[in-house]
Structure 1
Amino acid sequence: MNQDCVDWLYGLSAPMVALNKKYGASYTSPSFFPDRTFVDMADDWGIDSREKLLNCVFDMVDDGHAPMLSRYYAMYSRFSESQWRDYCQAQDDYQKVLLTFVEQTFCVCGYGGIRSWDYARMGYLLRNGTTNKYISEEEALWIFSRIAERSQYFYSSWHHYFAGWSIGFQYWETLNNKEDLEALRCELTRASQTHTMKILINDEDSPCNRLAWYIDIDELEKPESLAEYDWS
């Protein structure tokens, strides 16, 4: 696999790099933090072993936070204006707030919605898992290549991908607020990650400034060491 392809795969975790740039995060190193020999993932993620890391990644790539809104983004992409309006009117007040959020953000993240919120975070875990020697770089790259296939299907550019992550972050911050709908509406309309997005767009090392979105990703053979996991 050529270096541009490797850099592209690691670029899927770029939003998390921008978020942690001041702590030494790298866009292209196999290790998310190149100057560290161990990254504690136990407190925030409950991960302290290979098994927990892989189970988390394989679960969260397709069944993380994104499915909570994915069907709405899909519906918005195919419904006529009147169909969408009729559907929204039939929902409860909480769902109406979420549907308005989807309608307002579709133009910047598209059909993919907030899937990249899960993809980028799992990339972050994979690279830290490589640092901690829970997984090998070969294993990490194969998993990244599977996330890449999903990413290129659901998004049409780095900017769409980054926007999906930012919107997902915004949604994640509101998950526990289901009672005060006015507060929820306000929280969903504020742009909480503008600084991180500026870094992603303006940083010359960011993948969006170095690599085309649609590149051929080498089809990697699944490592034997991951054969026990029915995931691809």
Structure 2
Amino acid sequence: MEQDYIDWLYGLSAPMVILNKRYRASYTSPFFYPNDDFIDLKESWEIDSRETLLDCVFTMIDDGHAPLLSEFYSKYSQLSEFDWLSFYERQTDYHKVILKFVEQTFPICNTAGIRSWDYARMAYLLRLGTTNKYVTEEECLWILHRIGLRSTYFYHSWQHYLVSWFIGLQYWNNLQIKDDLEKLRCELSRPSNVTSMANLYEDKQAPFNRLPWFIDIEKFEKPASLTEYDWL
């Protein structure tokens, strides 16, 4: 497998790298933190084994936070303005706030929504799992390859993928605000994470600053060690 393609696959976790650059996170090493021998994932992710890692990754890639909004992004693209307004008026006050967030971010995310929020975080977890020897580098790359196929299907550029991730982060940061809808509306409406986005785009080490988004995706056979998992 060509090194550029390997770097591209590891680059799917780039937003997580920029958030952890101060801890010497790497864009292209098989190990997210090359200087560490083990990362405790029990408290933050309830992951302490190969089984719990893969269960989390395979679930979150397709059924993580993104599906909570995917239906709304899809509806917004399909409905006329009148039908969207009718749909909006039938919702609870909480969901009306969420629908306004979808309206505001649709020009950026389009129908892809915030899928990259789940894709990049699972790419990050896989690299931590490689450090912990829960998965091999070959297994990690194959799963990243499948994430890559999903990513290039839904997103049309690195910028599309990355900005949608930051919108996903904004959404996730405010998930717990349900009792104060005015606060939720304000938090979802104001720009956030601007500094992190700027730092990411300006980082010359980031793979997307030298590699195209639509890269030749090599045929990559599923490792025999993953055949017990019915996931593609």
- For the aligned pair, the TM-score class normalised by the smaller chain equals over 0.9
TM-score (norm 2): 0.97
1:61-210 matches, within 5 Å, as 61-210=61-210
**1:131-157 Cα distance to aligned partner (Å, 9 max, x none):** 111100000000001001110111111
Once the two structures are TM-superposed, the CA of residue 107 in structure 1 deviates from its matched residue by 1.1
Q: Which amino acid in structure 1 is aligned with residue 143 of structure 2?
A: I
- More divergent stretch after superposition (142-151 vs 89-98): 89-98
Percentage of identical aligned residues: 61
Aligned length: 232
2:197 and 2:109 mapped to 1: Cα distance? 13
Deviations 1:201-224 (A, max 9, x none): 111112221111111211211111
2:36 aligned with 1:36: yes
Deviations 1:6-27 (A, max 9, x none): 1111111000001101110011
Report runs of 4+ in structure 1 exceeding 6 Å deviation. none
Does the 8 Å contact 2:8/2:208 carry over to 1? no
1:173 partner amino acid: N
- Counterpart in the other structure of 1:225: 225
Amino acid at match of 1:90: R
How far the C-alpha of 1:90 sits from its partner, in A, is 1.8
Q: What stretches of structure 1 of length at least 5 have no aligned partner?
A: none
2:20 match: 20
Letter in 2 for 1:7: D
Alignment partners' CA distance in 1, 2:107 and 2:212: 21
| RMSD between superposed Cα atoms in Å | 1.0
